[in-house]
Amino acid sequence: MSVRQKMDRKKLVYQCLKGNTAAQRELYQLFSQIMLGVCYRYTKSVADAEDVLQEGFIKVFKNLHQYKGTGDLGAWIRRIMVNTAINYLKHKALYQYDLSFTDNSMHPVSDENPEIILNTKELSDLIRQLPTGFQTIFNMHAVEGYSHVEIGSLLGINEGTSRSQYSRARTLLISWITKNSLDNKEGHYARK
Protein backbone atom coordinates (compact mmCIF):
# COMPACT_ATOMS: atom_id res chain seq x y z
CA MET A 1 0.00 0.00 0.00
CA SER A 2 1.38 3.38 -0.95
CA VAL A 3 1.84 6.25 1.51
CA ARG A 4 -0.98 8.11 -0.26
CA GLN A 5 -3.38 5.17 0.16
CA LYS A 6 -2.42 4.93 3.82
CA MET A 7 -3.15 8.62 4.32
CA ASP A 8 -6.42 8.32 2.41
CA ARG A 9 -7.49 5.42 4.64
CA LYS A 10 -6.62 7.40 7.77
CA LYS A 11 -8.74 10.28 6.49
CA LEU A 12 -11.51 7.85 5.60
CA VAL A 13 -11.49 6.37 9.11
CA TYR A 14 -11.46 9.86 10.61
CA GLN A 15 -14.45 10.88 8.50
CA CYS A 16 -16.30 7.70 9.47
CA LEU A 17 -15.66 8.44 13.14
CA LYS A 18 -17.17 11.90 12.63
CA GLY A 19 -20.35 10.21 11.37
CA ASN A 20 -19.88 11.12 7.70
CA THR A 21 -22.27 8.72 5.91
CA ALA A 22 -20.52 9.14 2.56
CA ALA A 23 -17.24 8.03 4.17
CA GLN A 24 -18.98 5.09 5.84
CA ARG A 25 -20.47 4.05 2.51
CA GLU A 26 -17.02 4.34 0.89
CA LEU A 27 -15.42 2.19 3.61
CA TYR A 28 -18.16 -0.40 3.17
CA GLN A 29 -17.73 -0.43 -0.61
CA LEU A 30 -13.98 -0.66 -0.29
CA PHE A 31 -14.08 -3.83 1.82
CA SER A 32 -17.52 -5.45 1.41
CA GLN A 33 -16.73 -7.80 -1.49
CA ILE A 34 -13.52 -9.11 0.06
CA MET A 35 -15.18 -9.51 3.45
CA LEU A 36 -18.20 -11.26 1.92
CA GLY A 37 -15.76 -13.90 0.70
CA VAL A 38 -14.34 -14.21 4.23
CA CYS A 39 -17.84 -14.62 5.66
CA TYR A 40 -18.82 -17.14 2.98
CA ARG A 41 -15.92 -19.40 3.95
CA TYR A 42 -17.54 -19.89 7.34
CA THR A 43 -21.16 -20.28 6.25
CA LYS A 44 -23.12 -22.68 4.10
CA SER A 45 -24.96 -20.11 1.97
CA VAL A 46 -24.58 -16.66 0.46
CA ALA A 47 -27.60 -15.48 2.45
CA ASP A 48 -25.91 -16.50 5.72
CA ALA A 49 -22.67 -14.86 4.58
CA GLU A 50 -24.55 -11.64 3.83
CA ASP A 51 -26.11 -11.73 7.32
CA VAL A 52 -22.66 -12.14 8.86
CA LEU A 53 -21.27 -9.36 6.66
CA GLN A 54 -24.01 -6.96 7.72
CA GLU A 55 -23.57 -7.79 11.40
CA GLY A 56 -19.80 -7.54 10.99
CA PHE A 57 -19.94 -4.06 9.47
CA ILE A 58 -22.21 -2.90 12.27
CA LYS A 59 -19.45 -4.00 14.66
CA VAL A 60 -16.79 -2.34 12.48
CA PHE A 61 -18.54 1.03 12.64
CA LYS A 62 -19.41 0.64 16.32
CA ASN A 63 -15.78 -0.18 17.22
CA LEU A 64 -13.90 1.89 14.66
CA HIS A 65 -12.67 4.15 17.46
CA GLN A 66 -10.59 1.18 18.66
CA TYR A 67 -8.67 0.97 15.39
CA LYS A 68 -5.29 2.55 16.16
CA GLY A 69 -4.23 3.10 12.56
CA THR A 70 -0.93 1.28 13.05
CA GLY A 71 -1.87 -1.98 11.33
CA ASP A 72 -3.65 -2.74 8.10
CA LEU A 73 -7.29 -1.63 8.20
CA GLY A 74 -8.34 -4.59 6.06
CA ALA A 75 -6.74 -7.05 8.50
CA TRP A 76 -8.51 -5.35 11.41
CA ILE A 77 -11.87 -5.62 9.59
CA ARG A 78 -11.15 -9.24 8.61
CA ARG A 79 -10.62 -10.21 12.24
CA ILE A 80 -13.98 -8.68 13.14
CA MET A 81 -15.64 -10.59 10.28
CA VAL A 82 -14.10 -13.90 11.36
CA ASN A 83 -15.17 -13.36 14.96
CA THR A 84 -18.64 -12.36 13.81
CA ALA A 85 -18.90 -15.51 11.68
CA ILE A 86 -17.84 -17.67 14.61
CA ASN A 87 -20.39 -16.00 16.89
CA TYR A 88 -23.05 -16.43 14.19
CA LEU A 89 -22.31 -20.17 14.00
CA LYS A 90 -22.44 -20.50 17.77
CA HIS A 91 -25.66 -18.49 18.03
CA LYS A 92 -27.36 -20.47 15.29
CA ALA A 93 -26.13 -23.73 16.91
CA LEU A 94 -24.42 -24.61 13.64
CA TYR A 95 -21.08 -25.31 15.21
CA GLN A 96 -20.96 -28.86 16.50
CA TYR A 97 -18.24 -30.19 18.76
CA ASP A 98 -19.25 -33.81 18.24
CA LEU A 99 -18.66 -34.05 14.52
CA SER A 100 -19.76 -36.89 12.35
CA PHE A 101 -19.78 -37.28 8.61
CA THR A 102 -20.19 -39.83 5.87
CA ASP A 103 -18.34 -40.15 2.62
CA ASN A 104 -21.72 -39.99 0.87
CA SER A 105 -21.94 -36.27 1.61
CA MET A 106 -19.28 -35.47 -0.99
CA HIS A 107 -20.30 -34.01 -4.33
CA PRO A 108 -18.07 -34.10 -7.41
CA VAL A 109 -15.73 -31.16 -7.80
CA SER A 110 -15.81 -31.11 -11.58
CA ASP A 111 -17.47 -33.20 -14.25
CA GLU A 112 -15.62 -31.53 -17.10
CA ASN A 113 -11.94 -32.14 -16.55
CA PRO A 114 -10.72 -35.77 -16.43
CA GLU A 115 -7.33 -34.66 -15.10
CA ILE A 116 -8.46 -32.86 -11.97
CA ILE A 117 -6.88 -29.53 -11.33
CA LEU A 118 -8.49 -27.81 -8.40
CA ASN A 119 -8.91 -24.10 -8.70
CA THR A 120 -9.67 -21.84 -5.75
CA LYS A 121 -13.43 -21.98 -6.26
CA GLU A 122 -13.48 -25.77 -6.43
CA LEU A 123 -11.39 -26.07 -3.28
CA SER A 124 -13.67 -23.55 -1.54
CA ASP A 125 -16.68 -25.62 -2.61
CA LEU A 126 -15.10 -28.74 -1.14
CA ILE A 127 -14.26 -26.98 2.12
CA ARG A 128 -17.86 -25.77 2.29
CA GLN A 129 -19.02 -29.41 2.16
CA LEU A 130 -17.18 -30.22 5.38
CA PRO A 131 -19.29 -30.43 8.52
CA THR A 132 -19.57 -26.94 10.00
CA GLY A 133 -17.12 -27.55 12.85
CA PHE A 134 -14.46 -28.99 10.54
CA GLN A 135 -15.03 -26.15 8.07
CA THR A 136 -14.67 -23.53 10.77
CA ILE A 137 -11.46 -24.92 12.23
CA PHE A 138 -9.93 -25.62 8.80
CA ASN A 139 -10.61 -22.04 7.67
CA MET A 140 -9.36 -20.51 10.90
CA HIS A 141 -6.09 -22.46 10.85
CA ALA A 142 -5.28 -23.01 7.15
CA VAL A 143 -6.72 -19.81 5.70
CA GLU A 144 -6.71 -17.20 8.46
CA GLY A 145 -3.56 -18.42 10.22
CA TYR A 146 -4.95 -18.75 13.74
CA SER A 147 -2.99 -21.06 16.04
CA HIS A 148 -4.77 -24.01 17.62
CA VAL A 149 -4.48 -22.27 20.99
CA GLU A 150 -6.28 -19.20 19.57
CA ILE A 151 -8.91 -21.38 17.89
CA GLY A 152 -9.54 -23.24 21.13
CA SER A 153 -9.93 -19.98 23.01
CA LEU A 154 -12.30 -18.46 20.45
CA LEU A 155 -14.45 -21.59 20.09
CA GLY A 156 -14.36 -22.68 23.72
CA ILE A 157 -12.64 -25.99 22.98
CA ASN A 158 -9.24 -27.28 23.98
CA GLU A 159 -6.20 -27.03 21.73
CA GLY A 160 -6.12 -30.82 21.19
CA THR A 161 -9.69 -30.81 19.88
CA SER A 162 -8.78 -28.06 17.43
CA ARG A 163 -5.74 -30.01 16.21
CA SER A 164 -7.74 -33.21 15.90
CA GLN A 165 -10.60 -31.61 13.98
CA TYR A 166 -8.19 -29.79 11.69
CA SER A 167 -6.41 -33.06 10.97
CA ARG A 168 -9.70 -34.84 10.26
CA ALA A 169 -10.85 -32.02 7.98
CA ARG A 170 -7.56 -32.10 6.08
CA THR A 171 -7.68 -35.91 5.75
CA LEU A 172 -11.28 -35.77 4.55
CA LEU A 173 -10.47 -33.11 1.95
CA ILE A 174 -7.51 -35.10 0.66
CA SER A 175 -9.62 -38.25 0.38
CA TRP A 176 -12.35 -36.36 -1.49
CA ILE A 177 -9.84 -34.83 -3.89
CA THR A 178 -8.16 -38.19 -4.46
CA LYS A 179 -11.49 -40.01 -4.93
CA ASN A 180 -12.73 -37.38 -7.34
CA SER A 181 -9.45 -37.48 -9.27
CA LEU A 182 -9.64 -41.26 -9.61
CA ASP A 183 -13.33 -41.16 -10.59
CA ASN A 184 -12.55 -38.58 -13.27
CA LYS A 185 -9.64 -40.62 -14.64
CA GLU A 186 -11.73 -43.80 -14.79
CA GLY A 187 -14.51 -41.93 -16.57
CA HIS A 188 -11.98 -40.46 -18.99
CA TYR A 189 -10.51 -43.88 -19.84
CA ALA A 190 -13.96 -45.45 -20.23
CA ARG A 191 -14.89 -42.80 -22.82
CA LYS A 192 -11.83 -43.53 -24.97
Within the chain, how many helices (H) and strands (E) appear? 8, 0
From residue 41, give the alpha-carbon distance in Å to each of 4, 15, 85. Answer: 32, 31, 9
Q: pTM higher than 0.75 for the full model?
A: no
Give the least confident one: 35-49, 84-98, 134-148, 171-185: 84-98
The whole-number pLDDT of residue 186 equals 57
The whole-number pLDDT of residue 90 equals 83
Instruction: With CA atoms as reference, report the closest residue to 41 among 24, 31, 53, 54.
Output: 53
The whole-number pLDDT of residue 188 equals 46
| pLDDT mean over 159-169 | 93
The whole-number pLDDT of residue 132 equals 87
Nearest-angstrom CA–CA distance, 104 and 141: 26
Quick one: 59 exposed, middle or buried, by C-beta within 10 A (0-12, 13-18, 19+)?
middle
Mean of the per-residue pLDDT values for the chain? 81
CA dihedral 96, 99, 100, 106 (to 10 degrees): 80
Going along the chain from its start, the domains and CATH numbers come out as 1-94 (1.10.1740.10), 96-192 (1.10.10)
Query: pLDDT tens digit string along 165-189?
Result: 999 999 999 888 887 766 655 554 4
Please list, in sequence order, all residues whose beta carbon lies within 8 angstroms of the beta carbon of residue 55, skipping any fewer than 6 positions away: 84, 88
Query: pLDDT tens digit string along 102-137?
Result: 333 333 333 444 344 456 777 888 888 898 889 999
